[in-house]
Amino acid sequence: MKSNGKTIDKIIEAIIFASPEPISGRRIRECIEGSEDLDIDSKVSVLNDEYEKNGRSFRIINVAGGYQMTTLPEYEQWVRRVFVARGRLRLSPQALETLSIVAYRQPVSRPTMESIRGINCDGVIRTLLERNLITITGRDDSPGRPILYGTTNEFLRYFGLNNLKDLPELKEIEEIIGAAEE
């Protein structure tokens, strides 16, 4: 299949490469005239096979409900330098702890977060909201009707997840921590 003499695979590759955030298959099809029935997953698979065969340092992954080009983990130490130079988003241990509570317990209220952490979370919640990692999802029915928080697509993108089901189970985390301590 071609569009204006260009192969669809290369057009899809260019669209994903140019997108500053994960782009959905639906949006890719909207960009390509006459591609309503196009199987984006299979085209991405062909591209990834080509990248692997040619020893490329990147792949296309499915993250936050869309496709995004990403470098392979073995190139992280060099790529990280680009982000350090640009001041990439860094999270404090307190922010990571609070964010993990939101991710695993959402929708969750500030009082629940504070009871788990044992400390006031106002500042951390404000920071996570400013960085668009969490959002207000509603109000709880409990007394005082506290605000409920949940994670955002930016959270998924930041951690390289396609959806919340990709979060490691708590049992897996314990195994990872146990292996690291040995």
Domain containing residue 103: CATH number: 1.10.10.10
* CB of 163 closer than 8 Å to CB of 156: yes
Residue of 10, 41, 14 whose CA lies nearest to 25: 41
Helix (H) or strand (E) holding 61, with range, is: strand 58-63
Helix (H) or strand (E) holding 139, with range, is: strand 134-139
Judge if 98 and 163 occupy the same domain: yes
Cα–Cα distance for residue pair 71/63, rounded to 1 Å: 13
Residue 115 belongs to domain spanning: 93-181
* CB of 146 closer than 8 Å to CB of 105: no
Residue 85 resides in a domain: no
15 Cβ neighbours under 8 A, 6+ residues apart: 23, 28, 31, 32
Q: Which two tokens stand for residue 170?
A: 């708590």
Residue 50 resides in a domain: yes
Predicted confidence band of residue 3 (pLDDT cuts 50, 70, 90): low
pLDDT, tens only, 46-59 = 999 999 999 999 99
Judge if 69 and 104 occupy the same domain: no
pLDDT, tens only, 62-121 = 988 899 999 998 988 888 777 655 555 678 888 889 999 999 999 999 999 999 888 888
* CB of 157 closer than 8 Å to CB of 64: yes
Residue 157 resides in a domain: yes
* CB of 157 closer than 8 Å to CB of 133: no
Judge if 63 and 97 occupy the same domain: no
DSSP percent split of the chain into helix, strand, coil, nearest 5: 55, 15, 30
- Provide the domain count of the chain: 2
pTM of the predicted structure, to 2 decimals = 0.55
Residue of 151, 163, 144, 87 whose CA lies nearest to 125: 151
Quick one: average pLDDT of 8-17?
Answer: 92
Please classify residue 18 by burial: count the beta carbons closer than 10 Å to its beta carbon, then call 0-12 exposed, 13-18 middle and 19+ buried: exposed
